[in-house]
Homo-oligomer: A and B are copies of this chain.
């Protein structure tokens, strides 16, 4: 089968993406970024029961698929990003991993065809709880079936297949995306030759579960959530703000913040009118993060993906991590963990790396001393660049 020229793919799919902008972006929020969508197999059965009809996945891509179709990297994202990992012709704004993907960068688009998918269940063009159910012409909301990390992995693979790629050179991801990449390996024997898991988790700890449980409760208890039936232009903003602020706290590290904010006062004092208004610079940072997120992310999608992160357990696939990786067909793996990551700590990364080794996968386990915690992959680019560049070289 001949390679699908990149330009053709893009042209074929752009109109569908444009349609999305009005219909399926998160309610009352920023419209989906330009990109492509592919339909998923219809019906698309889900890991924990139920099926999706007429579902699709939004993706963006960089570089060219070679004629052997064996140079593709499938990139899964964390909980909140879209597929816009780097600038494209259609959307030249910087992506969330702009400094990692491009010609000559660690993920070198002169060599690789890089495909980033918006997770199934998310709200940036892929089918999720904020999408219109074709059966009812209404938004799914809580009628959407439960989404599992496994479903996100399989939907990513189907996206690659729709582009004519049967085996990925690399399946990779960070945070939730790391867990998805792991699930990909367990679920899809020979689906990928290599695996990169960054600050992912094979099974969330009670600490991570507790944090996400409180984040979800903040949304569920916001009267504006209305049992999931909030109007598109009136989402449960207060609950989302709290959820994101708490998330933000767990994505970085106390050490980084001590150096970055210390006990500096917040800039501007307009807020001082209230006796409990923010006083410290770190509170201003949380505020900015919460505002930005709340404007673009759909609360029901957040709840669905957050729950999926809690429930994922790699050991469901064969009884142990090792067994899960045993049939993966993965030849080489890179597992990156960060010393200051409180959410998916280093010992969880070590367990993933160890299971891969035991399953016969040649594995490099990189323990990075970055200060930026769980988010280090977005910030401490030099260290991640070096590891990923060396692995892909």
Interface contact A280-B209, CB-CB below 8 Å:
yes
Q: In the complex, what residues of B have CB within 8 A of residue A214's CB?
A: 242, 245-246, 249, 286
Judged by a CB distance under 8 angstroms, whether A367 is at the interface is: no
Check B279–A310 contact: CB distance below 8 A: yes
Considering the complex, which residues of chain A in the window 184-224 have a beta carbon less than 8 Å from any beta carbon of chain B?
203-207, 209-211, 213-214, 216-218, 220-221, 223
Chain B contacts of A204 at CB under 8 A? 263
In-complex Cβ contact of A310 among B220, B249, B280 (8 A): B280
A132 close to B (CB within 8 Å): no
Contact of A246 among B246, B281, B282 (CB under 8 A): B246
Q: Are B206 and A257 in contact (CB under 8 A)?
A: yes
| Residues B216 and A276 in contact, CB atoms below 8 Å apart | yes
Q: Give the interface size bracket for A toward B.
A: 35 or more
State the CA gap A246–B221 with chains docked (Å).
15
> Any chain B CB within 8 A of the CB of A177?
no
Check B263 against A313 for contact (C-beta < 8 Å).
yes
Selected from B206, B221, B307, the residue in CB contact (under 8 A) with A262 is B206
State the majority secondary structure of interface residues on A.
Answer: helix
Interface centre among A146, A205, A276, A307 (most CB of B within 10 A): A276
Bound form: Cα–Cα A68–B222 in Å: 58
Q: Mark A249-277, 1 if CB is under 8 A from B, else 0.
A: 10001100110111100000000000110
Q: Which B residues are CB-close (under 8 A) to A310?
A: 279-280
Interface contact A276-B246, CB-CB below 8 Å: no
Most buried by B among A203, A217, A282: A217
Contact A223–B221 (Cβ < 8 Å): no
- With an 8 A cutoff between CB atoms, is A166 at the interface? no
Cβ-defined contact, B206 with A280, below 8 A: yes
Q: Is the CB of B281 within 8 A of A206?
A: yes
**Interchain CA distance A258-B207 in the complex, whole Å:** 8
How far, in whole Å, are A222 and B146 apart by their CA atoms in the complex?
A: 29
Q: Is the CB of B203 within 8 A of A254?
A: no
Given the interface pairs A214-B246, A214-B286, A313-B263, the reply to whether A254 lies near B221 with Cβ below 8 Å is no
10 A–B contacts from the bound complex (CB under 8 Å): A203-B263, A206-B254, A206-B258, A206-B261, A206-B262, A206-B263, A207-B257, A210-B248, A214-B245, A276-B307
Contact residues of A with B, CB < 8 Å? 142, 146, 203-207, 209-211, 213-214, 216-218, 220-221, 223, 238, 241-242, 245-246, 248-249, 253-254, 257-258, 260-263, 275-276, 278-283, 286, 303, 307, 310-311, 313, 342, 345
* 8 tightest Cβ-Cβ pairs between the two chains A and B: A207-B254, A206-B282, A206-B257, A206-B261, A221-B238, A213-B283, A214-B245, A210-B282
